[in-house]
Amino acid sequence: MNQNTSEQNEYQAKIFANRLAKKYKQLRKWARRERVTCYRLYDRDIPEVPLAVDLYEALPEGMDSKIDAALLLRQEDARISANDLTASKEKAERSFVHLYLYERPYEKSDSDEQVWLDCMTKAVASVLEIPVNRVIQKLRKKQKGENQYEKIDSKQTTECYVQECGQLFKVNLSDYLDTGLFFDHRPLRSIVRSECAGKSVLNLFCYTGSFSVYAAEGKARRVESVDLSNTYLEWARFNFALNDFDPDDGRYFFTRGDVTGFLNQKLAEVPNAEGSNRYDIIVLDPPTFSNSKATRAPLDINRDWSELVRKCVNLLNAGGVLYFSTNSHRLKFDAELVPKTTDSGKAVAVFDMTEKSLPEDFKGTKAHRCWKIKIGE
């Protein structure tokens, strides 16, 4: 690496550190106020530094109680507000950073890229005052099929528990591209929690079940979580137990299967008295593309979204709501492709709630788009 490259790296590390410090100062008070211990600090803010920086303030090892976690964080926040420097140090010492490098549009040698990434890693560690070995590096390429869910050949598994708005979640920072918790859907999870008391909730493409946990916390009558992956369904069950909900108590269902096949099966059934095949709230947050061997045909959400929405709409009870979200920038949403009425004749209304559904740490980004599709009474 020549001197010019080294100087360029140092310059980019400096402007990156300045930006990161500014964002951290802005967001950390908000995070404490909202009871959020993991959030995004930076996302390609500077074009020359194509990184995403996610901070995970892990709970102390062995702490697996919502009540104990809430008490610890309340006491810790009080100490920080009182300018107790040891409290901030304790928090930093158990924190991790997930550092994504987005794939560049041009070629760069692996060795030069690693030197650059190590330089940025040191900048992150310095700003957040955490050890360099607690910054976990990953390369985020454009995903095809199931790639984002496949295991990474990591040298050591790094797992911890985090608290989000009162709920606890297990995150895996090392073994997959994603960690088990999508930050950008934090507000929508809270909306579901606030609306679901006594209702039946269906969480499609449920991943590790965070929407489902929020629904259980919101006292939903019934929560069904559907995913093709046994790994993620077991993770979802674990998250339920972590939050003191017995995954086997009869109100919670974890269904392994292809979402399209699941919807077809439910639509073919006559609505039953138990209400187990119709729903009051459906969460539809599919991957952009999936070509799993367990499905009959690949899923392309840019092509298939309207058919999935149609099926979901017809599984909703009167007054029910479908929350449909996508992170695909190519998807062309057209409200005209959403049925005006259900098969039973109920009116269907569509509302764009993208702005409302983006949290503070994703304001001004295009993390996702989201629509509320409501059935008439």
For residue 149, give the nearest of 317, 290, 323 by alpha carbon: 290
Q: Residue 146: pLDDT band by 50, 70, 90 thresholds?
A: very low
The distance of Cα 14 from the centroid of its chain, to the nearest Å, equals: 30
Question: What would the pLDDT profile of 98-134 be if each residue is shown by its tens digit?
Answer: 999 998 888 889 899 999 999 999 999 999 999 999 9
Name the amino acid, one letter, at 75: Q
User: pLDDT tens across 38-88, in order?
Assistant: 999 999 999 999 999 999 999 999 999 999 999 999 999 999 999 999 999
Strand-pair category, 299-300 with 289-290: antiparallel
What's the rounded mean pLDDT across residues 171-180? 95
- The answer to whether 213 and 239 have CB atoms below 8 angstroms apart is yes
Per-residue pLDDT averaged across 226-230, rounded?
A: 96
Q: Identify the pLDDT of residue 147.
A: 45
d(CA 321, CA 201): 10
Closest CA to 373 of 234, 287, 279, 303: 279
Instruction: Quickly count helices (H) and strands (E) in the chain.
Output: 10, 15
Q: How far is CA 222 from CA 165, 179, 196, 213, 216, in A?
A: 21, 27, 9, 12, 8
Measured CA distances, 92 to 89, 130, 137, 221 (Å): 5, 6, 18, 39
Q: List, edge to edge, every strand of the sheet that includes 135-140.
A: 38-43, 51-57, 95-102, 135-140
pLDDT of residue 209 exceeding 50, the answer is yes
Residues in the chain: 377
Q: What is the pLDDT of residues 246-302, one digit of tens each?
A: 999 999 999 999 999 999 999 999 999 888 899 999 999 999 988 766 666 789 999
Answer with the residue of higher pLDDT: 235 or 5. Answer: 235
Least confident residue range of 157-171, 214-228, 244-258, 291-305: 291-305
* Residue that wins the pLDDT comparison between 7 and 149: 7
Q: How far apart are CA 139 and CA 99, in angstroms?
A: 8
pTM, entire model: 0.94
Q: CA 342 → CA 174, 277, 307, 317, 349, distances in Å?
A: 44, 16, 13, 10, 11
Share of the chain above pLDDT 70, in %: 95
Give pLDDT, residue 4: 82
